[in-house]
Chains A and B, each alone.
Chain A
């Protein structure tokens, strides 16, 4: 039995980290519970924050991290539990209460207003009054915003409207917004997910400065490297419960993953590699599209998982969209199972192609509809050959898929928005199974999906190819490509620049090819 597993939930809260000598924690939660209809999101969670520490919060999606954050910042009200600020009991009922206590949260889903500018967003709700009553002091607004941008090293005009920024810049603005509140407690939810290496480095630098000033940081991450590089202490949640605490020096990634999923997960995603691939499922010759990809040649056979890698922006998703008929093809040929592909996504679907897009929530699912509706939507012609929708038939088909894919949902009539990321992804896969898809194109299949569910998704993909389907998989996680794919194409600058066979497939080779400069 490991030392980690032996730690009882209320053990570590009373021992401050060695770095600080203060007797009382900066902030403490005791016995926090929060129930939503049908789900216990938080179950008797207690944890303490000391000044100047980076407290890593780990857990799969749905483990309760987000709920805990929302309780902390006043967006949700806990059903039970107490808060202590420097040893004194306090109440947090609204976001304003939390702000008064110096708690600032950087949300993963952006809390920015698209058609307000950067400065207005940073100081939303905290506008500076002008000398003329009722007006905002705009000079000061832009001056202070510029100071915040300088602090985080973001080189943009504070008058830029936020919608015109890229995702990484928006994330940095969000970080600037939280920092500008002079927070003493800063909560970050996967802040580096959308950032480049340079921006990440800058963020870590800012975090170190804040730490030195005694700010306590709660940091949620799925990246083990960050957990070990930045964390002073680690708290692990699972199913709304606190399941363990640790210090980076005294635990291992494997141990943490075991705690998160409550079972042993092999990070290497076992695959049954086929000896001899089957017929050609997809053949692309000289493909160029309106979205900029040029001269793409690639082949995928039944029984194969073929990777498509390269840096973000190298044109991978554009290839997927062109094959699926979502983007206009300007030159070249695409054949699906030996037949030329014509028309749009509807024709592609009929030909047996299914796209599992990168933006699951906007492109993969109809979020407000039920699991059953989403599972039926791609397979309507197949499920209802006489063109009349039958709720019974849809439900039967949905129940079958839920069982087969082990989708965790209370019922087929559950709104798909309420499922975890991993289960939503299974629904997207399921809708193509219902449509009789034989060529699956996965675009970042594990984006926003936690460790345990990742393994399940890959087991599912392995099962698909074992059953004779063909898979083209785009991923920015090179480790995934290396572990899962039979072979892979590498893209750079909207072209395919090389192919790696199973034996050549390594992270080094992918990076070398994808980044090579002529």
Chain B
């Protein structure tokens, strides 16, 4: 990250990434502005509500590290959630529902990866296309209606507790640990960094990188499938617009976290901080009764502000 000395007094003190400053600043602000913010219950709430975003932001970090992008994640999550809901309602089997959701995610990931790695279509365009496809299919599958009658055992995935800790927090922590190991302790992670940093280096090292790139997008799809389970459990239904636009939050969290859009320069812990920052912002604004449309604008402004800090720092070095 940015560790060089800086000249401006404003920027000299915090050798801390912009996202950490943003998270601390916002928390302080909301703690002062709203008495309900700094309570154990609310903070646990923030964590629980951040898990779905984290599940998307983790693979999004890897995708962005490959100099890619996945705009279809929110729509794929929505479609997967509907499929899961339909299967669960019909069969009363959580396993079958989850398999269905994962299958939807993996299929879209495969198509994204094939378009991008195989046909060399720019990721922005390719995933914009599949976003439309997934959104359309979601409307077809649901006929524009919500799928209701979600059984209690599904709802418990989101609202239940395991070992006294809310289950979603455990799921989020587990996947964060998994991605940490994947990115920093496996060949795959090394190659993800090289995919964005220097693909020729991979070719010369004899690594079949196109397959890897497809795998990265399939990982994104699979995680949308996992997130679909939590989303269905959370809203107690399958809804055709449930997660539309959630990719915006995910990309914002990754960008906030200091992962750059070129050269494979990523930071997974930064993504976690970015997700929490978005979560704190949404939660705090909710407490202050700010409408959700304004919240989106606030997230956008925050991303720009945080990146500005990092950019000022790196250009001064």
- Closest B residue to A120 by beta carbon equals B190
| Contact among B202, B207, B263 with A115 in the assembled complex (CB-CB below 8 Å) | B263
> Could you tell me which residues of chain A, from 103 to 133, have a CB within 8 Å of some CB in chain B?
105, 107, 110-116, 120-121, 124-127, 130
> Could you tell me which residues of chain A, from 123 to 179, have a CB within 8 Å of some CB in chain B?
124-127, 130, 134-136, 138, 163
**A125 vs B194: C-alpha distance in the bound complex, in angstroms?**
10
B198 and A112 form a contact (CB under 8 A) = yes
Chain A residues closer than 8 Å to B194, beta-carbon distance: 113, 116, 124
Encoded as 1 (CB less than 8 Å from any A CB) or 0, chain B from 182 to 206 comes to 0001110010011011101111111
B186 and A95 form a contact (CB under 8 A) = no
The reply to whether the CB of A35 lies closer than 8 angstroms to some CB of chain B is: no
- Contacts A124-B190, A136-B185, A136-B187; is A113 near B264 (CB within 8 Å)? yes
Q: How many residues of A contact B (CB 8 A)?
A: 27
Chain B residues closer than 8 Å to A125, beta-carbon distance: 202, 205-207
Chain A residues closer than 8 Å to B201, beta-carbon distance: 111-113, 121, 124
Chain B residues closer than 8 Å to A120, beta-carbon distance: 190, 193
- Contacts A116-B190, A136-B185; is A111 near B206 (CB within 8 Å)? no
**A334 vs B264: C-alpha distance in the bound complex, in angstroms?**
42
Chain A residues closer than 8 Å to B206, beta-carbon distance: 94-96, 99, 125
Q: How many residues of B contact A (CB 8 A)?
A: 22
**A94 vs B181: C-alpha distance in the bound complex, in angstroms?**
30
**A77 vs B173: C-alpha distance in the bound complex, in angstroms?**
47
Encoded as 1 (CB less than 8 Å from any B CB) or 0, chain A from 84 to 107 comes to 000000000011100100000101
> Could you tell me which residues of chain A, from 194 to 236, have a CB within 8 Å of some CB in chain B?
none
Chain B residues closer than 8 Å to A111, beta-carbon distance: 198, 200-201, 204-205
| Contact among B187, B196, B197, B205 with A95 in the assembled complex (CB-CB below 8 Å) | B205
B197 and A113 form a contact (CB under 8 A) = yes
Closest Cβ of chain A to B132, distance in Å, is 29
**A110 vs B263: C-alpha distance in the bound complex, in angstroms?**
14
The reply to whether the CB of B61 lies closer than 8 angstroms to some CB of chain A is: no
Closest Cβ of chain A to B128, distance in Å, is 23
The reply to whether the CB of A441 lies closer than 8 angstroms to some CB of chain B is: no
**A138 vs B204: C-alpha distance in the bound complex, in angstroms?**
22
Chain A residues closer than 8 Å to B203, beta-carbon distance: 75, 95
- Which of B181, B205, B264 lies at the interface centre, i.e. has the most chain A CB atoms within 10 A of its CB? B205
**A73 vs B206: C-alpha distance in the bound complex, in angstroms?**
11
B185 and A138 form a contact (CB under 8 A) = yes
B265 and A114 form a contact (CB under 8 A) = yes
The reply to whether the CB of B238 lies closer than 8 angstroms to some CB of chain A is: no
| Contact among A73, A115, A136 with B204 in the assembled complex (CB-CB below 8 Å) | A73
The reply to whether the CB of B279 lies closer than 8 angstroms to some CB of chain A is: no
**A138 vs B187: C-alpha distance in the bound complex, in angstroms?**
11
A95-B206, A111-B201 known; 13 new pairs, CB 8 Å cut-off, are A95-B205, A107-B204, A112-B201, A113-B201, A114-B265, A115-B196, A115-B266, A124-B194, A125-B202, A125-B205, A127-B187, A135-B186, A136-B190
Chain A positions within 8 Å of B, measured between CB atoms, are 73, 75, 94-96, 99, 105, 107, 110-116, 120-121, 124-127, 130, 134-136, 138, 163
Q: List 29 A-B contacts (CB under 8 A).
A: A75-B203, A95-B205, A96-B206, A110-B198, A111-B200, A111-B204, A112-B201, A113-B193, A113-B201, A114-B263, A115-B193, A115-B196, A115-B263, A115-B265, A115-B266, A116-B197, A116-B264, A120-B190, A124-B202, A124-B207, A125-B202, A125-B207, A126-B205, A127-B187, A127-B190, A135-B181, A135-B185, A136-B187, A163-B265
